[in-house]
Amino acid sequence: MRIAVIGGGIVGLTTALELKRELRNANITIFASDFDDTVSHVAAGIFRIGSSYFGPSEEITRKWINDSYEYYNDIRKSAEAGVAGVTNISGYIFANSGPNAVKNKWMEGLVPIYRAATDDEFNIVGGDWKYGAFFTTLLTQCSLHLPWARQKLREDGVSLITRKIDSLSEFGEENPLIINCTGIGARELCDDRRLVPIRGQVIKVKAPWIKNCFYGELDTYIIPGHYGICTLGGSRSFDSVFSGICQHENRAIRERCETLLPSLSKAKTVAYATGLRPHREGNVRVEPEKLTGYSGTIVVHNYGHGGYGVCTAPGTAKYAVQLTKEIHRSTSKL
Residues 219-238 that bind ligand FAD (CB under 6 A): 233-234
Closest approach of Cβ 123 to ligand FAD, in Å?
26
210 binds ligand FAD, rule: CB under 6 A: no
319: closest CA among 291, 280, 278, 287? Answer: 287
State the pairing for strand pair 298-303/229-233. Answer: unpaired
Q: Quick one: which of 10, 207, 261, 323 contacts ligand FAD (CB under 6 A)?
A: 10
SS3 208: coil
Q: Which amino acid is at 266?
A: K
Q: Quick one: which of 77, 130, 164, 251 contacts ligand FAD (CB under 6 A)?
A: 164
Closest approach of Cβ 118 to ligand FAD, in Å?
26
DSSP string, 249-300: HHHHHHHHHHHH-GGGGGPEEEEEEEEEEEEESSS-EEEEEEPTTSTT-EEE
DSSP state of 134: E
Does 221 belong to an annotated binding site? yes
Q: Which is nearer to ligand FAD, 214 or 303 (CB)?
A: 303
CA atoms of 217 and 191, how far apart (whole Å): 34
SS3 101: helix
306: closest CA among 191, 197, 189? Answer: 197
Closest approach of Cβ 307 to ligand FAD, in Å?
5
135: closest CA among 162, 101, 154, 109? Answer: 109
Closest approach of Cβ 263 to ligand FAD, in Å?
22
Q: Quick one: which of 3, 29, 31, 144 contacts ligand FAD (CB under 6 A)?
A: 31
CA atoms of 162 and 75, how far apart (whole Å): 27
69 binds ligand FAD, rule: CB under 6 A: no
Q: How many angstroms separate the most distant Cα atoms in the chain?
A: 65
DSSP state of 123: G
Residues 177-196 that bind ligand FAD (CB under 6 A): 181-185, 189
Q: Which is nearer to ligand FAD, 178 or 328 (CB)?
A: 178
Closest approach of Cβ 321 to ligand FAD, in Å?
15
Q: Which is nearer to ligand FAD, 132 or 197 (CB)?
A: 197
9 binds ligand FAD, rule: CB under 6 A: yes
Stretch 285-304: interaction string toward ligand FAD, x if CB under 6 A: ------------------x-
Give the footprint of ligand FAD on this chain (CB under 6 A).
Answer: 6-12, 31-35, 38-40, 42-46, 164-165, 181-185, 189, 200, 202, 233-234, 275, 277-278, 303, 305-311
Binding residues for FAD: 182
